C-alpha cells in the first residue's frame, strides 16, 4: 500500500526541525486515515498532582525520535495503514461534565469516520468518555496496563468522575464487559481492604505485579488473549504501570512496576486481537524534567501503533 501519510525523513530534515506532530506525521482529518492519533490534554480528573494537560505536547515532542520500521517484525505501520496526527481534542478547563460530553462526541465522530483512534492523554478519566464514543454496539473487552485499578466508586463528597473511578463507571454504563476485562500490573498500598472487591465481584481479572513477575510476560499475555477473545477490545495503558525509574513524570507513581522491556513485550503480544482503539495516559510533564517519561510514552505509542496497523491490514483498508 502506498500512502502520503509518511513521517518526515530524518535523513533530510533533522529531528530537531519542523513542527512536532505525532511521529512527525502530517496533520489530517480522521476521515482521511485508517488510524487517527489524537492528543487529549486534560487533567480535571486528577486527585493529587495535576499536569497531564501538558502530556500531548511533550509526547509529540519526544515522538520526533521515533522511526519507521519495527526492528522485530521488520514492518512499518506506515506501509500498512494511513496514519496521521489528527490534532487535539478540545475540552473545557472549567467544566468537567461538559468536557466528558465533548470527548464522547469527538470519539463518536472518529468512529463514524472509520478511523481507529490512538490517544495520547490526559489523565485516566479520559478512557471513560472515549469508551462512550466507541462502544456504541455494546460492551467491549478491555485490557488495562496500570499500577491502579481505577475502579473506586467516588472521592471527595461523592465525586464519581475522577481518574480513580473510570472503569467502575464503564462497567456500570455497560461500555465494558467485565468478564472480558483484565488489569495487569496492579500494586501499591490501597485505601481500604475492599478496594478491589467491586472489580473482582464484577468478574474483572486482576493480575497483580507479583503474579506477573512470577509468571512472566508470555504466560500472562496468553491468558489475556483467552480473556478477551476475538471480539472488539479496547486497550488502555497507564504510564504509571511502568516503573517510576523509567516513567517518573506521572501523578501517582508506584515503585516496583513493569520494566519497559516487559511493557514492550506485552504490547507486541497484543498482535492478533481485535483492537478498536488504544490510549496512553497519565504522562505529566511538569514532573518529568528529563523528558524520559514522554520518551517512554512515545515509544509505547509507537508499539501500539504497530499493533493497530496490523488490525487495519487484516481488515483491509476502507
Using DSSP's 3-state secondary structure scheme, residue 66 falls into coil
As to burial, measured by CB atoms within 10 angstroms (0-12 exposed, 13-18 middle, 19+ buried), residue 35 is: buried
Q: How far is the CB of 158 from its own copies (least distance, A)?
A: 9
43 in a known ligand binding site: no
Residue 124, marked binder: yes
The CA angle 136-140-144, to the nearest 5 degrees, is: 130
Of 185 and 232, the one with the shorter C-beta distance to its own copies is 185
135 versus 307: smaller Cβ distance to its own copies = 307
Q: What is the DSSP letter of 141?
A: E
Q: Annotation-wise, does 201 bind a ligand?
A: no
Minimum Å gap between C-beta 310 and its own copies is 15
Q: Name which of 174 and 256 has its Cβ closer to its own copies.
A: 256
Between CA 279 and CA 36 the distance in angstroms is 11
Question: Of 35 and 228, which CB lies nearer to its own copies in the complex structure?
Answer: 35
Least distance (Å) between residue 94 CB and its own copies? 4
The reply, when asked if residue 34 is annotated as ligand binding, is no
Instruction: Name the grid cell of 221.
Output: 499475555
Task: Compute the least distance from the CB of residue 135 to its own copies, in Å.
Answer: 24
Q: Which positions ≥6 away from 253 have C-beta within 8 Å?
A: 147, 240, 244, 247
Q: What is the 3-state secondary structure (H, E, C) of 240-267?
A: HHECCCCCCCCCCCCCCCECHHHHHHHH
Do β-strands 233-238 and 116-121 pair in parallel, antiparallel, or remain unpaired?
unpaired
Q: Which is nearer to its own copies, 175 or 217 (CB)?
A: 217
Q: For its own copies, which is the closer residue by CB, 104 or 208?
A: 208
Q: Specify whether the CB–CB gap between 249 and 258 falls below 8 A.
A: no
First to last CA, the chain: 12
User: Least distance to its own copies from the beta carbon of 151, Å?
Assistant: 14
The residue with cell 521515533 is 66
Q: Is 219 annotated as a binding residue?
A: no
- Least separation in angstroms between CB 75 and its own copies: 8
Question: Do the Cβ atoms of 52 and 101 come closer than 8 Å?
Answer: no
Say if residue 70 carries a ligand binding annotation. no
**Cell of residue 178, nine digits:** 467485565
Task: Say if residues 40 and 280 touch (Cβ distance below 8 Å).
Answer: no
Comparing CB distances to its own copies, the nearer of 228 and 266 is 266
CA-CA distance, 203 to 162, in Å (whole number)?
22
Minimum distance between the CB of residue 5 and its own copies, rounded to whole angstroms? 16
Q: Which residues are annotated as a binding site?
A: 124, 146, 148, 150, 238, 240
Q: Which residues are annotated as a binding site for Mn(2+)?
A: 124, 146, 148, 150, 238, 240
Amino acid at each position: 500500500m502506498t500512502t502520503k501519510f509518511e513521517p518526515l525523513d530524518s535523513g533530510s530534515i533533522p529531528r530537531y526541525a519542523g513542527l512536532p506532530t505525532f511521529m512527525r506525521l502530517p496533520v489530517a482529518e480522521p476521515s482521511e486515515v485508517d488510524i487517527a492519533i489524537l492528543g487529549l490534554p486534560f487533567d480535571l480528573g486528577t486527585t493529587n498532582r495535576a499536569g497531564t494537560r501538558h502530556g500531548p505536547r511533550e509526547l509529540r515532542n519526544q515522538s520526533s525520535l521515533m522511526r519507521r520500521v519495527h526492528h522485530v517484525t521488520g514492518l512499518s505501520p506506515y506501509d500498512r495503514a494511513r496514519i496521521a496526527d489528527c490534532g487535539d481534542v478540545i475540552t473545557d478547563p472549567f467544566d468537567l461534565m461538559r468536557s466528558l460530553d465533548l470527548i464522547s462526541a469527538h470519539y463518536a465522530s472518529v468512529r463514524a469516520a472509520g478511523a481507529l483512534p490512538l490517544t495520547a492523554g490526559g489523565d485516566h478519566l479520559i478512557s471513560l468518555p472515549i469508551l462512550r464514543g466507541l462502544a456504541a454496539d455494546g460492551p467491549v473487552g478491555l485490557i488495562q496496563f496500570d499500577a491502579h485499578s481505577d475502579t473506586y466508586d467516588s472521592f471527595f463528597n461523592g465525586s464519581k468522575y475522577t481518574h480513580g473511578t473510570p472503569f467502575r463507571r464503564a462497567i456500570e454504563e455497560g461500555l465494558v464487559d467485565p468478564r472480558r476485562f483484565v488489569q495487569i500490573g496492579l500494586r501499591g498500598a490501597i485505601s481500604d481492604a475492599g478496594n478491589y472487591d467491586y472489580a473482582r465481584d464484577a468478574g474483572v481479572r486482576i493480575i497483580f505485579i507479583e503474579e506477573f513477575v512470577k509468571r512472566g510476560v508470555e504466560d500472562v499475555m496468553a491468558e489475556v488473549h483467552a480473556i478477551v477473545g476475538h471480539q472488539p477490545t479496547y486497550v488502555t495503558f497507564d504510564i504509571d504501570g511502568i516503573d517510576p525509574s523509567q516513567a517518573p513524570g506521572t501523578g501517582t507513581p508506584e515503585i516496583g512496576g513493569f520494566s519497559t522491556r516487559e511493557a514492550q513485550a506485552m504490547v507486541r503480544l497484543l498482535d492478533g486481537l481485535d483492537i478498536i482503539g488504544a490510549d496512553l495516559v497519565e504522562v505529566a510533564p511538569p514532573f518529568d524534567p528529563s523528558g524520559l517519561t514522554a520518551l517512554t510514552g512515545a515509544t509505547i505509542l509507537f508499539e501500539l501503533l504497530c499493533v493497530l496497523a496490523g488490525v487495519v491490514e487484516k481488515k483491509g483498508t476502507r
